[in-house]
Chain A
Amino acid sequence: MANENIEKKDMSLDDANRVRVLSPGMMVFKRFIRNKLAIVGIVIIVFMFLFSFVGGLLNPYSQSQVFYTTEQILKDYAGATTIDQYQIYQVDGVKLPSDIYSKTLIAASTKKYVFETRDGSLLGLGNVGEGVYRIFSLEEVNMLLKKNAAYDEAVAAGENFFVDKDGKTYVFQDNGDPMPSVYEATEMGVAAMKSFTTYEKDAKLSYEFYCGALTAVADGEKSFEADGKTYSVDGDVITDGTTEVALVSDVNFNAANAGVFISPAYKEAAMAAIDAGQTSFTFADEDGTEIEYRIENKNGQYTFRRFQETRVIDTYARPSAKHWVGTDANGMDLLARLMYGGRISLLIGFVVIFIEVFIGMIIGGIAGFFGGWVDNLLMRIVDVVYCIPTMPLYLILGSIMDYYQASATTRIYMLCVIMAVIGWVGIARIVRGQILSLREQEFMVAAEATGISTYRRIFKHLIPNVVPQLIVFASMGLGDVILAEATLSFLGLGIKYPAASWGSIINAVNDSYVMSNYVFVWLPAGVFILLTVLAFNFIGDGLRDAFDPKMKR
């Protein structure tokens, strides 16, 4: 090969510089770098290595780091139910029987105000009016009601109890008999379908207050006295002259989350919105910001929902400055996973090919060199392995690993071993064929004639002549191995979460929603596989042409 930069003047025929003789290796190299496709392949592979191995170091995120984001999520804030059960406020220190609720309900609707509870105590209701009842514990007495002013007054007011001159309270029940039965009563509590909300958080109200307030609300009075104070009633709101104390309503509110205090003002606003038939209303929170609440009505049960900032895993985030390729289903950074996945894909490719070449060279070499029955036996073994369908076998072994719950790392090692154990036969065949043909050539006969050892004949004369084909085969085989690993991981039987591989990243398309809406999840990984395999094929092609220029004329 003539070299231009050697001066052409004064050269004699035997001048050593007249023709620059290149070593065979150098010629191969020169031919190789003249192949444009091969150079493209080299560039891609270098990029992939930098991307995976250096990029993984530079990227601030690791492959299994989960990212979170805050999102506005519609969440339940409070629920409201119209009270359809009697709420019972007990006198301090009194314990009422457990079936008092149902008994009260029955007694109030049947107007049979005297009843016996399950534990045998005799109780009665004192009808205050408008669905407010006092609860008494009763004791039957004989008493004449004729000419009793208090009794007449009670009958006139439609009540069924009265306070007699002796200061005791009596309950009477009209049984249809000429004379109603009379009971001496001790006050136990008050029942009404109303609930109280204090304006001050955690404020306690006394029984006297409950009783007075309920009576006042029921009778439509404007004020009542309790605990030595005078309270005034304005609609549903009870004030102690200056400040608001409590709100009475027939709707029961409860917060969706424990520890949340629902203020009476909120209730008022909510009630107003419900009464007006609105589907949403706004209410200022403690900081004064207006928050919109949506009202949902389900069989008289109201739910108030609002948008709340919630910390959620950042799944399928679109590519942004923070995540250049976005995030995947687990909220992990896809760029980092692509980098670490690239490491595994490339690593598996090289490890598998290395083992394959190692086994294939030894078996093929022995078979080719010794021939005879050794050759026959080894080649039959090769035939047997060659006949085993590879992809189905990988699948079976993958599911076996699934069953034994192999860890992500174990799977990677196992995958390497399995693929190599299946894949070496191709190389063995090539090496054997090559050695068989080389053995018959003159230089081997010459080598034998000089009497050098078998070891030297194999390793100094035969193997170097096989290497070119091996390199070509290995570089193309690398692509195949990466493809097979990707396919296996894609089917979910290769590399598994939390380890990443390009194939397992594309696995996300098994969910067709992801396939149609989150292209950025699967497209880059696929392009990377394609580019890498393509690059190895370009290089293999270029190497073959460089080693064997006969094909390129």
Chain B
Amino acid sequence: MKKFIIRRLLISVVLLFFVSMIIYTIMRLMPTSYVETQAMTLAQRPGSKSFQEWVDQLNAQYGLDTGIVQGYFRWLSKAIRLDFGDSWYFNQPVLQKFSSVIWYSFGLGLAAFIIEILIAIPAGIVAARKQYSIADYAITVIALIGISLPSFFFATILKYVFSIRLGWVDLYGIVSRMHETMSDAGKVLDMVKHMVLPTLTLVVVSIGSLMRYTRANMLEVLNSDYIRTARAKGLPENKVINHHAFRNTLIPIVTLLGGSLPGLFGGAMITETLYQIPGIGYTFYQCVTQGDIPFVMFYMVFMAVLILLGNLIADITYALVDPRVRVN
């Protein structure tokens, strides 16, 4: 087991090296409009250097004057020491900005994740138990609609109904205008209130796959021999489902959920941007549109790490919950 994990980790590091190299190359192709805009403003100051001189100086300052390969290794040598530089757009160290926004994303993701599990797994099991019933069809169709719903469209509908027509919540933001004057409990409630629609959006657009996955697995389990045996022994149906079938369904589901845990830190870019939740996704979106290379670079690598971590955790949980895998 230990050997397996170490081997996977080593492979992950090698993958990460190549992934970050590709990302860095793409980033260098990105227009450095930020540098040019900066140079333009600086050059317009009275008695200032010419535009080109400023561009050269800023490029040197931001480390853009080197070739891509050299630049990559320079970036890498700093990144290994967790120094990702300063965000140009926010004008503060990338990691500082990151730690100030990540918890919004995590909170949003975790809330959606828990609600998703609480709804999707029971619904999937119900659908599988009563295959071809109306409930099964309804759950299948709802799951597919959830998968097919563009998050921006669903968010727009929610905003239209709940913010504009009913006026229950604000259109944008994480806090209301009077936030500062509220009591501590009021502040928390205020934030929770602003998180309702984003959470709902996330839950609806991502619940479908878990629901279908649960249903498919439950169907497979219900058709296996040990369930037939359990029924043949005359066990009550509830016991068959809750003890024999459910536990075995959990094996792939726990694997899936374990694998998606790191994703909670990745932020929901579209949803956060639409509701202007100051999480990591919205921050990233702002940085991309502003050409903030250090932050974008950091976020991309961070996401790659999360994906690798997710795969790793999925594999490890699989080995943990299913003894058959451990033997092999």
A interface residues with partner B (beta carbon < 8 Å):
37, 380, 383-384, 386-389, 391-393, 395-397, 399-400, 402-404, 479, 483, 486-487, 490-491, 503, 506, 509, 512, 515-516, 519, 522, 526, 529-530, 533-534, 537-538, 541, 551, 553
Closest chain A CB from B138 CB (angstroms)? 12
* Cβ-defined partner of A509 (8 Å) among B156, B273, B284: B156
Asked whether B300 lies within 8 Å of A487 as measured between CB atoms, the reply is no
Closest chain B CB from A173 CB (angstroms)? 55
B5 within 8 A of A: no
What residues on A are CB-neighbors of B328 within 8 Å?
A: none
Asked whether B23 lies within 8 Å of A506 as measured between CB atoms, the reply is no
* Cβ-defined partner of A551 (8 Å) among B16, B151, B216: B216
A391 to B281, alpha carbons, bound, how many Å?
11
Asked whether B156 lies within 8 Å of A537 as measured between CB atoms, the reply is no
Asked whether B164 lies within 8 Å of A490 as measured between CB atoms, the reply is no
Q: How many residue pairs bridge A and B at CB < 8 Å? A: 123
Asked whether A400 lies within 8 Å of B160 as measured between CB atoms, the reply is no
Q: A388-B23, A487-B150, A541-B140 are in contact. List 11 more A-B contacts (CB 8 A).
A: A389-B304, A391-B269, A392-B269, A393-B23, A393-B26, A506-B156, A515-B164, A522-B156, A526-B157, A529-B150, A541-B144
Could you give 7 example pairs across A and B, Cβ below 8 Å? A37-B141, A389-B266, A389-B303, A392-B269, A395-B285, A396-B296, A486-B150
Write out, one digit per residue, whether chain B residues 3-35 have a CB within 8 A of any chain A CB (1) or not (0).
Answer: 000000001001110110011001101110100
Asked whether B160 lies within 8 Å of A519 as measured between CB atoms, the reply is yes
Asked whether A490 lies within 8 Å of B150 as measured between CB atoms, the reply is yes
Given A387-B15, A388-B22: A515 and B152 interface contact (C-beta under 8 Å): no
Closest chain A CB from B173 CB (angstroms)? 12
List 8 tightest A-B contacts by C-beta distance, closest first: A403-B31, A526-B153, A389-B303, A533-B148, A534-B148, A516-B164, A387-B304, A387-B19
Given A387-B307, A392-B284, A403-B31: A534 and B171 interface contact (C-beta under 8 Å): no
A223 to B275, alpha carbons, bound, how many Å?
78
Asked whether A396 lies within 8 Å of B153 as measured between CB atoms, the reply is no
What residues on A are CB-neighbors of B219 within 8 Å?
A: 551
User: For this complex, into which size category does the number of interface residues on chain B fall?
Assistant: 35 or more
Asked whether A512 lies within 8 Å of B26 as measured between CB atoms, the reply is no
What residues on A are CB-neighbors of B325 within 8 Å?
A: none
B40 within 8 A of A: no
Write out, one digit per residue, whether chain B residues 297-325 have a CB within 8 A of any chain A CB (1) or not (0).
Answer: 00110011001100000000000000000
Asked whether B150 lies within 8 Å of A483 as measured between CB atoms, the reply is yes
A389 to B300, alpha carbons, bound, how many Å?
7
B159 within 8 A of A: yes
B58 within 8 A of A: no
What residues on A are CB-neighbors of B148 within 8 Å?
A: 479, 483, 530, 533-534, 537
B270 within 8 A of A: yes
Asked whether B223 lies within 8 Å of A553 as measured between CB atoms, the reply is yes
B149 within 8 A of A: yes
Asked whether A384 lies within 8 Å of B31 as measured between CB atoms, the reply is no
What residues on B are CB-neighbors of A386 within 8 Å?
A: 307
What residues on B are CB-neighbors of A388 within 8 Å?
A: 19, 22-23, 300, 304
What residues on B are CB-neighbors of A537 within 8 Å?
A: 144, 147-148
Closest chain B CB from A401 CB (angstroms)? 10
Asked whether B289 lies within 8 Å of A399 as measured between CB atoms, the reply is yes
What residues on A are CB-neighbors of B216 within 8 Å?
A: 551
Asked whether A529 lies within 8 Å of B153 as measured between CB atoms, the reply is yes
Tell me the chain B residues, 104-150 only, with Cβ under 8 Å from chain A: 137, 140-141, 144-145, 147-150
Residue of A nearest to B155 (CB): A509
Asked whether B22 lies within 8 Å of A396 as measured between CB atoms, the reply is no
Given A392-B269, A522-B156: A400 and B150 interface contact (C-beta under 8 Å): no
What residues on A are CB-neighbors of B150 within 8 Å?
A: 483, 486-487, 490, 503, 506, 526, 529-530, 533
What residues on B are CB-neighbors of A392 within 8 Å?
A: 269, 284, 288, 296, 299-300, 303
A534 to B154, alpha carbons, bound, how many Å?
14
Closest chain A CB from B117 CB (angstroms)? 22
A37 to B140, alpha carbons, bound, how many Å?
10
Closest chain B CB from A332 CB (angstroms)? 21
A383 to B308, alpha carbons, bound, how many Å?
9
Residue of B nearest to A480 (CB): B147
What residues on A are CB-neighbors of B30 within 8 Å?
A: 396, 399-400, 403
Closest chain A CB from B196 CB (angstroms)? 19
What residues on B are CB-neighbors of A37 within 8 Å?
A: 137, 140-141
B291 within 8 A of A: yes
What residues on A are CB-neighbors of B269 within 8 Å?
A: 391-392, 395
A328 to B294, alpha carbons, bound, how many Å?
38
A519 to B160, alpha carbons, bound, how many Å?
9
Asked whether A515 lies within 8 Å of B159 as measured between CB atoms, the reply is yes
A506 to B274, alpha carbons, bound, how many Å?
13
A389 to B262, alpha carbons, bound, how many Å?
13
